[in-house]
C-alpha cells in the first residue's frame, strides 16, 4: 500500500505553496525531501497526513482517498512528527509516549511494552519518569520521536505503516542524529514507508532511498541520491556552488560547499 499525491496544488491566503506535485511513498523506502526555506516541504507533509486538503489533485492511501479513511484507521497507519510539538500538561515522558498507542486496541500490557521499547530506541530510558515540561528541547524531541514510533511500532491491520517526520534531527547532537537515521533505516527495513524533511543534504544522501528536491512549490527532481544530488541541481535549487564527492565509508554522494 502506497501513500501518494497526484497532481496536488495548494494555495493559502492567495499564495501558491505547491503546484502539480506527483510523489509516491512506498513501504520499505525512505524518502528525504530537501529544499530552501519556503519551498513547500512542510506544506507537502501536511497534505500527506490530511492536515491540509489540496485545492486540486488527490492524496491517496492505497486505493482510497486519504480523506475517505476513518480517523482511527488512518492513525493506525500514519504517524506524524511536526517541527514543534506543544504539550503543557505535567505528563511524564512515558505518558507522552503512551499517547501514540491511543488508536490501538492492543491492551495495557502490550502498550507498556511498546512504550518501553520506543523509549529505548531513542535512548530515552532515563527520561521515562521525568516531567515532560521540564525536559530540554532535544530531550522533548526524543520523547516525541518515541511517541510516533510507538504509534506505528507494529504493522496496522491493513499492513501499512508510514512515518512522516519534519526536521527530526534539528534539535539533536551528532550522536542522536546518527541514532535517528538508524531508526529510520531500521523501520524501512521492517517494511515501513518513511518521509522526512531535512536541511542537511549529506544526511539525506546517507539515509534515503528516494531524494526529492522542491523549489518554489514545484518538484524539481526525484530519484536516488546519486541521481538527484548533482552539482547542477543543487545550484539550481539552493543557488549555491558545490562539489560532489563520495563518502569514504558509504559511497553515497558527499556535498561539499
Q: Between the CA of residue 247 and those of 83, 175, 185, what are the distances in Å?
A: 28, 18, 18
Global pTM value:
0.93
Q: Which set of grid coordinates corresponds to residue 247? A: 563518502
Q: Which residues of 162-174 are buried (b: 16+ CB within 10 A; e: fewer)?
A: bbbbbbbbbbbee
Dist CA 212 CA 41 (whole Å)? 10
- Per the CB < 8 A criterion, the answer to whether 163 and 152 are in contact is yes
Given a cut of 90, whether residue 171 has pLDDT beyond it is no
Given a cut of 90, whether residue 173 has pLDDT beyond it is no
Confidence at residue 83, expressed as pLDDT on a 0 to 100 scale? 86
What lies within 8 Å, CB to CB, of 70 at 6+ separation is none
Confidence at residue 18, expressed as pLDDT on a 0 to 100 scale? 96
Is 109 buried (19+), middle (13-18) or exposed (0-12) by CB count in 10 A?
exposed
pLDDT tens digit sequence for 95-150? 999 999 999 989 999 999 999 999 999 999 999 999 999 999 999 999 999 999 99
pLDDT tier for residue 13 given thresholds of 50, 70 and 90: confident
Q: How many domains does one find in the chain?
A: 1
Range of the domain at 79: 3-256
Over residues 238-257, the mean pLDDT reads 90
Say how far residue 50 (Cα) sits from the centre of its chain. 14
Q: Residue 230 sits in a domain of what CATH number?
A: 3.40.50.300
Q: Which set of grid coordinates corresponds to residue 137? A: 528541547
Amino acid at each position: 500500500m502506497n501513500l501518494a499525491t497526484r497532481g496536488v496544488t495548494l494555495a493559502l491566503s492567495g499564495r501558491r505553496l505547491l503546484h502539480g506535485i506527483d510523489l509516491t511513498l512506498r513501504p520499505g523506502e525512505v524518502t528525504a525531501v530537501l529544499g530552501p526555506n519556503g519551498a513547500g516541504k512542510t506544506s507537502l507533509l501536511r497534505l500527506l497526513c490530511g492536515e491540509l486538503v489540496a485545492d486540486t489533485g488527490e492524496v491517496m492511501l492505497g486505493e482510497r482517498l486519504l480523506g475517505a479513511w476513518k480517523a482511527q484507521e488512518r492513525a493506525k497507519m500514519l504517524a506524524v512528527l511536526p517541527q514543534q510539538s506543544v504539550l503543557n500538561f505535567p505528563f511524564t515522558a512515558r505518558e507522552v509516549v503512551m499517547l501514540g498507542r491511543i488508536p490501538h486496541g492492543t491492551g495495557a500490557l502490550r502498550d507498556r511494552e511498546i512504550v518501553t521499547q520506543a523509549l529505548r530506541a531513542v535512548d530515552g530510558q532515563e527520561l521515562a519518569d521525568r516531567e515532560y515540561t521540564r525536559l530540554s528541547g532535544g530531550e522533548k524531541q526524543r520523547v516525541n520521536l518515541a511517541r510516533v514510533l510507538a504509534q506505528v511500532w507494529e504493522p496496522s491491520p491493513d499492513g501499512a505503516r508510514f512515518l512522516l517526520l519534519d526536521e527530526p534531527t534539528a534539535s539533536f547532537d551528532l550522536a542522536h542524529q546518527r541514532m535517528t537515521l538508524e531508526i529510520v533505516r531500521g523501520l524501512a527495513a521492517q517494511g515501513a514507508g518513511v518521509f522526512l524533511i531535512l536541511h542537511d543534504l549529506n544526511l539525506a544522501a546517507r539515509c534515503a532511498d528516494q531524494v526529492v528536491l522542491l523549489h518554489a512549490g514545484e518538484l524539481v527532481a526525484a530519484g536516488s541520491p546519486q541521481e538527484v544530488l548533482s552539482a547542477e541541481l543543487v545550484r539550481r535549487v539552493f543557488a549555491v556552488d558545490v562539489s560532489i564527492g563520495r563518502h569514504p565509508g558509504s559511497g553515497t554522494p558527499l556535498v561539499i560547499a
